[in-house]
């Protein structure tokens, strides 16, 4: 058993893989900064010296952190397991970094006062070093030796759900050995291409035979005493036992709303959403600061956006629309108009869809860059919204969705936001099914929210805006 436990220490979780990626990219950035400094000093100065660093390049220490920020959307372990996606992401980060530095380079009163070659050396070297590191990561850390071996306990609907999640992920997050179930009719049968290997009495033998490191308990109803005792015995022998909703959360960063029981919701959700007064005060201060910055940016873009809207489709430029806020309170959200006038002439609320035919040409550009949302910084400043939270929904649609989706009104426990966990991970939910998936992300955010999560969402949103990935 000691040997099995030693093998288990090599099995990496999603968070551990993400940490390895970040550390590797940071080291690649540090190495790129050091070599870039040496090249800059050698070819464009009088040689490397600490005087050179002090006078010309002390700000270079910030470049590795800037490189991490540019790659903020590249730390999904499954995306990082594809070298093609890594190449595209790193090249996009390098291109964005070059564009931003070019913009800053021409900002001073005396264009050209900032260095040219030093930052270019860094971007080129950071790109090469990071791609080299990502290639090593794929070769080493996606090998079977670092993958967990999982046994699913329960071959019912909950078990089939988690298997469908695993099957849909590429590459697979871990190796599934099979399933265990006490129903005699299921033993030896296949569930989603995986075999039911035995019953609870066979659990320890199955673990040993298949070198299992983790058990996912996918039993939502009453658990028999034999199964409960078998799980306890497995845990005592070093197995990690996790419930299916927790595994679902870890794999998808959202909650499985169709597989939550009321008592679980009360114990694991309501009890955990209480947050400290420090968080609430700090979040409000962050909202005010962010809203003021956003309104300054809005003042710069508004004249041009308003002129484009007026020329193409006339008035109004800004429109108000009823939305539900925290606790179901009504408020009016502000947006730049992106659709044709009288887009809802029938008076009924309609889903906003990707590639919506009602959107104007200017509106599609504004949506693409998320510029249509900038007037909502007024809502944030007034306290009706936050920078981060579930997107506010229209009352008519909320009433409809409450009838179809369990726990939908739970998203009203917090202030709505300009951006949110669902927006950076999913996008728009232009249907009941899409809204259900968005709700899973929203409830995950409400359960796990803190300042670091809020800041991470803001940074990822900025990356999405610069990448023009709006809808």
User: Are 150 and 177 spatial neighbours (Cβ–Cβ below 8 Å)?
Assistant: yes
- 89 with 178, same domain: the answer is no
Give 102's pLDDT tier (boundaries 50, 70, 90): confident
Within a domain: 113: yes
- 367 with 385, same domain: the answer is yes
What are the Cα distances from residue 26, in Å, to 72, 126, 431?
A: 12, 10, 40
Distance of alpha carbon 332 from alpha carbon 392, whole angstroms:
10
DSSP characters over 276-291: -HHHHHHHHHHHHHHH
Distance of alpha carbon 458 from alpha carbon 471, whole angstroms:
17
The pLDDT, as a whole number, for residue 288 is 95
- 102 with 196, same domain: the answer is no
Within a domain: 135: yes
Write down the pTM of the prediction: 0.74
User: Are 380 and 291 spatial neighbours (Cβ–Cβ below 8 Å)?
Assistant: yes
Please say whether the dihedral angle defined by the alpha carbons of residues 364, 366, 370 and 374, taken in this order, is positive or negative.
negative
Distance of alpha carbon 23 from alpha carbon 141, whole angstroms:
14
Write down the mean pLDDT value for the chain.
82
* Whether residue 26 has pLDDT greater than 90: yes
The pLDDT, as a whole number, for residue 466 is 60
Bridge-partner residues for 180, per DSSP? 153, 198
* DSSP code of residue 469: -
* Whether residue 389 has pLDDT greater than 90: yes
Within a domain: 270: no
The pLDDT, as a whole number, for residue 45 is 66
Within a domain: 410: yes
The pLDDT, as a whole number, for residue 468 is 47
Nearest to 125 by CA among 21, 24, 37, 65: 37
Distance of alpha carbon 39 from alpha carbon 18, whole angstroms:
31
Lowest mean pLDDT among 272-276, 324-328, 427-431: 272-276
3-state secondary structure (DSSP) of residue 242:
strand
User: Are 412 and 327 spatial neighbours (Cβ–Cβ below 8 Å)?
Assistant: yes
Give 269's pLDDT tier (boundaries 50, 70, 90): low
Location of structure tokens 């009706």: 384
Q: What share of the chain is helix, strand, coil (3-state, %, to 5)?
A: 60, 10, 30
Cis peptide before 171 (omega within 30 of 0): yes
Lowest mean pLDDT among 36-40, 233-237, 328-332, 461-465: 461-465
pLDDT, tens digit, 9 for 90 and up, residues 250-263: 888 888 888 776 66
Within a domain: 265: no
- 309 with 246, same domain: the answer is no
Distance of alpha carbon 1 from alpha carbon 207, whole angstroms:
11
- 80 with 190, same domain: the answer is no
- 327 with 405, same domain: the answer is yes
Mean pLDDT of 167-196: 87
Q: What is the CATH number of the domain that holds 237?
A: 3.40.50.720
Domain count, the chain: 3
- 53 with 174, same domain: the answer is no
Q: To the nearest 10°, report the CA torsion of 11, 15, 20, 26.
A: 180
The pLDDT, as a whole number, for residue 53 is 65
The pLDDT, as a whole number, for residue 178 is 92
- 285 with 248, same domain: the answer is no
What are the CB-based long-range contacts (under 8 Å, 24+) for 230-234? 230/200, 230/201, 230/203, 230/204, 231/153, 231/203, 233/203, 233/204, 234/203, 234/204, 234/207
Highest mean pLDDT among 191-200, 219-228, 285-294, 301-310: 285-294
In terms of residue numbers, what domain contains 42? Answer: 2-141
Within a domain: 264: no
Within a domain: 35: yes
pLDDT, tens digit, 9 for 90 and up, residues 161-170: 999 998 888 7
Question: Looking at per-residue confidence, does 396 or 51 come out higher?
Answer: 396
* Whether residue 407 has pLDDT greater than 90: no
3-state secondary structure (DSSP) of residue 261:
coil
pLDDT, tens digit, 9 for 90 and up, residues 37-87: 888 877 766 666 666 666 666 677 888 998 998 888 788 887 788 888 889
* Whether residue 334 has pLDDT greater than 50: yes
The pLDDT, as a whole number, for residue 375 is 93
- 170 with 104, same domain: the answer is no
Lowest mean pLDDT among 113-117, 342-346, 355-359, 373-377: 342-346
* Whether residue 396 has pLDDT greater than 50: yes
The pLDDT, as a whole number, for residue 69 is 85
* Whether residue 5 has pLDDT greater than 50: no
Within a domain: 448: yes
Mean pLDDT of 289-308: 91
């Amino acid at each position: 058993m000691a040997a099995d436990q030693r093998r288990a220490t090599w099995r990496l979780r999603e968070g551990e893989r993400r940490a390895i990626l970040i550390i590797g990219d940071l080291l690649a950035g540090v190495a790129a900064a050091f070599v870039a400094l040496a090249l800059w000093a050698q070819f464009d100065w009088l040689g490397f010296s600490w005087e050179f660093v002090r006078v010309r390049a002390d700000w270079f220490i910030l470049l590795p952190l800037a490189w991490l920020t540019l790659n903020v959307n590249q730390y999904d372990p499954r995306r990082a397991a594809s070298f093609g996606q890594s190449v595209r992401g790193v090249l996009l980060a390098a291109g964005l970094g070059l564009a931003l530095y070019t913009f800053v380079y021409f900002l001073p009163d005396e264009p050209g006062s900032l260095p040219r070659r030093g930052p270019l050396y860094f971007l080129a070297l950071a790109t090469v070093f990071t791609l080299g590191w990502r290639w090593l990561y794929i070769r080493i850390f996606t090998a079977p030796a670092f993958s967990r071996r999982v046994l699913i306990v329960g071959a019912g609907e909950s078990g089939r759900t988690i298997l469908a999640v695993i099957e849909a992920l590429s590459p697979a997050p871990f190796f599934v050995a099979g399933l265990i179930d006490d129903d005699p009719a299921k033993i030896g049968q296949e569930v989603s291409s995986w075999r039911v290997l035995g019953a609870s009495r066979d659990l320890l033998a199955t673990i040993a035979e298949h070198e299992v490191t983790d058990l996912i308990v996918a039993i939502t109803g009453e658990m028999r005493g034999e199964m409960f005792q078998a799980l306890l015995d497995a845990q005592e022998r070093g197995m990690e036992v996790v419930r299916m909703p927790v595994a679902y959360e870890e794999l998808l960063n959202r909650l499985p709303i169709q597989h939550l029981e009321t008592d679980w919701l009360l114990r694991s959700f309501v009890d955990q959403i209480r947050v400290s007064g420090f968080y609430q005060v700090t979040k409000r201060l962050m909202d005010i600061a962010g809203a003021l910055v956003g309104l300054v940016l809005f003042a710069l873009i508004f004249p041009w956006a308003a002129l484009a809207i007026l020329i193409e489709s006339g008035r109004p430029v800004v429109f108000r629309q009823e939305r539900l806020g925290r606790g179901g309170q009504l408020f009016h959200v502000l947006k730049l108009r992106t659709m044709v006038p009288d887009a809802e002439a029938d008076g009924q609320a309609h889903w906003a869809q990707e590639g919506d035919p009602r959107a104007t040409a200017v509106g599609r550009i504004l949506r693409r860059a998320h510029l249509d949302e900038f007037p909502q910084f007024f809502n944030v400043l007034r306290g009706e919204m936050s920078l981060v939270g579930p997107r506010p929904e229209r009352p008519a649609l909320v009433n409809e969705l409450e009838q179809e989706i369990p726990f939908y009104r739970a998203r009203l426990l917090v202030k709505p936001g300009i951006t949110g966990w669902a927006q950076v991970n999913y996008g728009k939910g232009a249907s009941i099914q899409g809204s259900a998936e968005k709700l899973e992300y929203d409830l995950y955010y409400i359960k796990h929210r803190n300042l670091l999560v809020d800041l991470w969402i803001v940074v990822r949103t900025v990356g999405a805006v610069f990448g023009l990935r709006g809808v």
